[in-house]
Amino acid sequence: MLIVANWKAYVEDLPKAKKLFATSKSLAKRNISTIVLAPPAPFLGALAAGNTSAVAFAAQDVSATLGGAQTGEATAPAYAGAGATYAIIGHSERRAAGDTDALVAQKLALSLSHGLVPILCVGERARDGEGRYLSFIREELTVALESLMPKERGKVIVAYEPIWAIGKTAADAIASDDLAEMVLYIRKVLAELVPGKRGERFLVLYGGSVEPENVRTLAENSGIDGFLIGHASVDVHAFGALVKNLA
């Protein structure tokens, strides 16, 4: 299992960031899951400096620019230089703040060209009885990947995060049967976009109200390769229980 802990802006002081990092290092030693931390940008370099543990780091976003007169922007090369090896691209909260599908595609390309493994977030806002949300997911995947070379497309990790399930309780998460269907559909679309690569070879994560009490159920028989965790990842006890429940 690949577990990506997206701290968002929940963590606002370095001591708490260090405590969460220490917990993650301990968990990584005792579990088979791979843990990736996505701290707020100001803390990433401080945590990643000299890191020799099995824990890796991700940028929560990257700029669509490459340096220059861009006050406040953090570029893909800057994140790579600070110690990130992954980058979360197209999270629903960034899309709500103005990231279009075209901008997501641009960020995806920049991440790949500077050695970051992109975690591409896709997900529908609501479900309808006619299945139009499937076309929405297909469009997000297609626009994000179509400008990349086939070899680059195969490096992208997809995180399925239905917007209607984010930031709620375990009871609001997707049902495991429905998740299994979505994973199959996403793999089918990806296989079409990368000729010659079978769908099962793509890494697909799930995010959306994942808690210690439902993480094992979601993992079983769904075909997913891991989780993108939000608020539960910034509680030491909840995150520890969540990772242990997947062991």
Q: What is the pTM of this model?
A: 0.96
Phi, psi dihedrals of residue 58, rounded to the nearest 5°: -130, 150
Residue 179 CA to residue 22 CA, distance in Å, equals: 32
Per-residue pLDDT tens digits for 146-157: 999 988 999 999
Task: Classify 214 as helix, strand or coil.
Answer: coil
Q: In Å, how far from its chain's centre is CA 76?
A: 16
DSSP string over 93-155:
HHHHTT--HHHHHHHHHHHHHTT-EEEEEE--SS--TT-HHHHHHHHHHHHHHTTS-HHHHTT
Per-residue pLDDT tens digits for 53-106: 999 999 999 999 998 999 999 999 999 999 999 999 999 999 999 999 999 999
pLDDT of residue 129: 74
pLDDT of residue 150: 87
Find the mean pLDDT for residues 128-146.
Answer: 92
Find the mean pLDDT for residues 106-131.
Answer: 94
**35 pLDDT tier (thresholds 50, 70, 90):** very high
Per-residue pLDDT tens digits for 16-30: 999 999 999 999 998
Q: What's 56's DSSP letter? A: E
Per-residue pLDDT tens digits for 165-203: 888 777 778 899 999 999 999 999 999 998 887 767 899
Find the mean pLDDT for residues 117-124.
Answer: 97
Q: What CATH code is carried by the domain that includes residue 100?
A: 3.20.20.70
pLDDT of residue 199: 65
**Domain assignment of residue 170, given as a range:** 2-244
Task: Specify burial of residue 49 (Cβ count, 10 A radius: 0-12, 13-18, 19+).
Answer: exposed
Q: Give the list of residues 6+ apart from residue 194 with CB closer than 8 angstroms, or none.
A: 145, 150, 153, 154, 202
- Rounded to a whole number of angstroms, the distance between the first and last alpha carbons of the chain is 9
CB 19 within 8 A of CB 242: no
Please identify every residue annotated as catalytic.
91, 161
Residue 143 CA to residue 32 CA, distance in Å, equals: 34
pLDDT of residue 37: 98
Residue 228 CA to residue 51 CA, distance in Å, equals: 22
Phi, psi dihedrals of residue 227, rounded to the nearest 5°: -135, 150
Residue 134 CA to residue 145 CA, distance in Å, equals: 17
**Residue at token pair 């570029």:** 75
Which two structure tokens, joined as six digits, stand for 28? 């990584």
Residue 25 CA to residue 27 CA, distance in Å, equals: 5
Per-residue pLDDT tens digits for 216-241: 999 998 999 999 999 999 999 999 99
Of residues 120, 219, 131, the one with CA closest to residue 173: 219
- Total domains present in the chain: 1
